[in-house]
Amino acid sequence: MVAIIFGAAGGIGAAFVEALGPDTIGLSRHSAPPLDLEDETSIAAAAAWFAAQNLVADLMLDATGFLHGNGFRPEKSWAGIDREQMLRNFAINAVGPALLMKHFLPLLPRNQRGVFVTLSAKVGSIGDNASGGWYSYRAAKAALNQITHTAALELRRHRPLAICVAMHPGTVETKLSAPFAKTGLTVRSPALAVAQMLPVISGLNVTDTGGFFSYDGSLLPW
Ligand SMILES: NC(=O)c1ccc[n+]([C@@H]2O[C@H](COP(=O)([O-])OP(=O)(O)OC[C@H]3O[C@@H](n4cnc5c(N)ncnc54)[C@H](OP(=O)(O)O)[C@@H]3O)[C@@H](O)[C@H]2O)c1
């Protein structure tokens, strides 16, 4: 049994690889095979490569994501909404993970427990949104949550012991969160965040599939 981490070069992804040890397969734009969320061919090729290894993955964890970069910052107001920024957010935070699910969920074990976790964000929760702003990231993560829930329903028909969830990692010190670090905000190291999430992931059971969880195991509102 092995774990596959998507986005293995990222702050949280690298900490998962480190914590899970040598039987972990880390996939990223820089790995062999490379995996680029904006290139479905690379996702399909990585899935085919994994299938050819004759290994069984009991954990697949998607730690990819996009919040800022290439001149983009999260919108403070509707005045900041930009077509390219919104499309990029959806491409990386929603469409890319959906393609991971398309190609990798069928590779979960057929007759034993297997878990697919995608890292979402609490700001993607509509019910929890009391402060506004960040239109593109919020909307793309909300879409990711819907995709995760929908995929879990389909997965249950083919893999009754499999689990597919979205998880909020909490605020973690990575390049994604760096520009938004504020005094007084509790920021955890990637190693601590992973140490908190791993027991929650281990404790998930089939009745949890399709859910949106926080790193402490609590359920988040949609
Ligand atoms: N850090 C936080 O406080 C926080 C809070 C809530 C939710 N999250 C979520 O947690 C997840 C991990 O975030 P992080 O903090 O670890 O951020 P990070 O260090 O920026 O890692 C994000 C990873 O996504 C990868 N990625 C971006 N575009 C990609 C593409 N086209 N194809 C393949 N990989 C791509 C990046 O790859 P490269 O290394 O190749 O650039 C990077 O490794 C994200 O989904 C984020 O939204 C984080």
Q: Whose CA is nearest to atom 1 of ligand 1?
A: 172
Q: What is the pLDDT of residues 104-120, one digit of tens each?
A: 999 999 999 999 999 99
Give the Cα separation of 68 and 148 in Å (integer): 23
Strand stretches in 122-191, DSSP E: 162-168
- What percent of the chain has a predicted confidence (pLDDT) above 70? 100
Q: What is the pLDDT of residues 89-147, one digit of tens each?
A: 999 999 999 999 999 999 999 999 999 999 999 999 999 999 999 999 999 999 999 99
Give the Cα separation of 74 and 138 in Å (integer): 9
Q: So what's the pLDDT on residue 100?
A: 99
Mean pLDDT along residues 13-21:
98
Domains with residue ranges and CATH for the chain = 2-214 (3.40.50.720)
98: buried, middle or exposed (CB in 10 Å: 19+, 13-18, 0-12)?
middle
Q: Whose CA is nearest to atom 8 of ligand 1?
A: 121
Total residue length of the chain: 222
186, pLDDT greater than 90 = no
Sign of CA dihedral 137, 166, 26, 11: positive
The count of C-alpha atoms lying within 13 angstroms of the C-alpha of 64, restricted to the half-sphere facing its C-beta, is 30
How far is ligand 1, taken at its centre, from the CA of residue 157, in Å? Answer: 30
Dihedral (C-alpha) 51, 56, 59, 62: value to the nearest 10 degrees? -10
Per-residue pLDDT band at 182 (split at 50, 70, 90): confident
Mean pLDDT along residues 21-36:
96
Per-residue pLDDT band at 70 (split at 50, 70, 90): confident
Q: So what's the pLDDT on residue 125?
A: 98
Q: So what's the pLDDT on residue 118?
A: 99
How far is ligand 1, taken at its centre, from the CA of residue 166, in Å? Answer: 14
Q: So what's the pLDDT on residue 46?
A: 98
132: how many CB neighbours lie within 10 A of its CB?
A: 11
Q: Answer yes or no: is the C-beta of 121 below 6 A from any ligand 1 atom.
A: yes
Q: So what's the pLDDT on residue 135?
A: 98
Give the Cα separation of 49 and 107 in Å (integer): 11
Q: Which residue has the tokens 């929760």?
A: 125
5, pLDDT greater than 80 = yes
pTM over 0.95: yes
Q: Which of 158, 182, 36 is nearest to 106 (CA)?
A: 158
183, pLDDT greater than 80 = no
Q: Answer yes or no: is the C-beta of 169 below 6 A from any ligand 1 atom.
A: yes
Q: Whose CA is nearest to atom 18 of ligand 1?
A: 10
- b/e for 207-218, b at 16 or more Cβ within 10 A? ebbbbbbbbeee
Q: Answer yes or no: is the C-beta of 136 below 6 A from any ligand 1 atom.
A: no
Sign of CA dihedral 63, 66, 69, 75: negative
Give the Cα separation of 88 and 164 in Å (integer): 24
Q: Whose CA is nearest to atom 21 of ligand 1?
A: 10
DSSP states along 165-181: EEEE--SB-STTTGGG-
Q: Answer yes or no: is the C-beta of 194 below 6 A from any ligand 1 atom.
A: no
Q: So what's the pLDDT on residue 221?
A: 98
Sign of CA dihedral 208, 212, 214, 215: positive
Q: Answer yes or no: is the C-beta of 158 below 6 A from any ligand 1 atom.
A: no
Per-residue pLDDT band at 206 (split at 50, 70, 90): very high
Per-residue pLDDT band at 44 (split at 50, 70, 90): very high
